[in-house]
Amino acid sequence: MNIQIITVGKLKETYLVQGIAEYVKRLGPYAKVQIVEVPDEKAPESMSAAEEVQVKQREGERILAKLHADAYVVALAIDGKPLSSEELARQVQDLATYGRSQVAFVIGGSLGLAPEVLARADLKLSFGRMTLPHQLMRLVLVEQVYRAFKIMRGEPYHK
């Protein structure tokens, strides 16, 4: 399975870079993982609603340009469907079973995802109603993808 994680912005925090690298390494025997960073749109601290729409639209265009045409797209969204780790594992297993070997997880910028990206998504996935920094979400996501593969294989993993 080929997993693409498309994210907005550059990751700078060393501890997050190291954590993500560790889980990508652990995923090596199970899947090919590619992390794609698209530039975030420079925006003033206080923006009008119209400016926020423009920022999300520009970031969304960059995200859509990186998606493979045949990818199954999972957009991370607060209002998405909440899944347990086991349910995520079943979802990934079903994709593999039915020949959907290209899976793209999309994490938006600080303002979220553009409507066009959400419309392209096959699944909107929520990790809960709390807002998490999008940089931290990368680590949480890659850990959950790793956990999903461990569950799918029936291999032990700490609780």
99 within a domain of the structure (yes/no): yes
Do 114 and 57 touch, CB atoms closer than 8 A? yes
Phi, psi of 38 (to 5 degrees): -105, 145
13 within a domain of the structure (yes/no): yes
Q: Does 128 carry a binding-site annotation?
A: yes
Q: Does 80 carry a binding-site annotation?
A: no
The pTM score is 0.94
Q: Does 19 carry a binding-site annotation?
A: no
Q: Give the tens place of pLDDT for each residue, 11-38.
A: 989 999 999 999 999 999 999 999 999 9
Q: Does 130 carry a binding-site annotation?
A: yes
Q: Does 129 carry a binding-site annotation?
A: yes
Q: Which residue in this structure is represented by tokens 């990818």?
A: 71
Domain that holds residue 104: 2-153
159 within a domain of the structure (yes/no): no
158 within a domain of the structure (yes/no): no
Task: Return the CATH number at 6.
Answer: 3.40.1280.10
Tokens of 148: 């999903």
Q: Is the pLDDT of residue 134 over 90?
A: no
Number of structural domains in the chain: 1
Q: Does 76 carry a binding-site annotation?
A: yes
89 within a domain of the structure (yes/no): yes
Q: Does 111 carry a binding-site annotation?
A: no
Tokens of 40: 């975030």
Q: Does 149 carry a binding-site annotation?
A: no
Q: Which residue in this structure is represented by tokens 């392209």?
A: 120
Q: Give the tens place of pLDDT for each residue, 69-99.
A: 999 999 999 999 999 999 999 999 999 888 8
